Amino acid sequence: MASAARPVLAVVDLTAGLVGYGAALRLQERLADLRREGAVPDTLLLLQHEPVYTVGKRGSLADFRNGVEAVTSRGAAVAHVPRGGETIDHGPGQLVAYPVLAQ
């Protein structure tokens, strides 16, 4: 009996709602673990974040010219993240694509 072919790329479309940054990061980390184990194919996550500013390795709180409180008081979160780059804002209406690929 022939085995079913595994997909080359799985696309997970979460764009119907908003996803918090922490939840999206945990999902990426879990998928990366499963990918390393060979349990899932390469995966592309598509989503929109709840309002958040991610501060990369070259970013700092000084990037917030009016202070962090100016954005958090409007409901946005601030997350320090282990990626390169500076500070980026994400929010509703902005499509974000996260690839989770085999090395």
Residue 24 domain-assigned (yes or no): yes
Q: In what order do the strands lie in the sheet with 42-49?
A: 9-19, 42-49, 96-100
Residue 62 domain-assigned (yes or no): yes
**37-79 pLDDT, tens per residue?**
999 999 999 999 999 999 999 999 999 999 999 999 999 999 9
pLDDT at res. 103: 80
Residue 55 domain-assigned (yes or no): yes
* Average pLDDT score, the chain: 93
Residue 70 domain-assigned (yes or no): yes
Query: Do residues 71 and 78 lie in contact, with contact meaning Cβ atoms separated by under 8 Å?
Result: yes
Residue 2 domain-assigned (yes or no): no
Residue 2 has pLDDT above 90, yes or no: no
Residue 1 domain-assigned (yes or no): no
Number of domains in the chain: 1
Owning domain of residue 57? 11-100
CATH number of the domain where residue 93 is located: 3.30.930.10
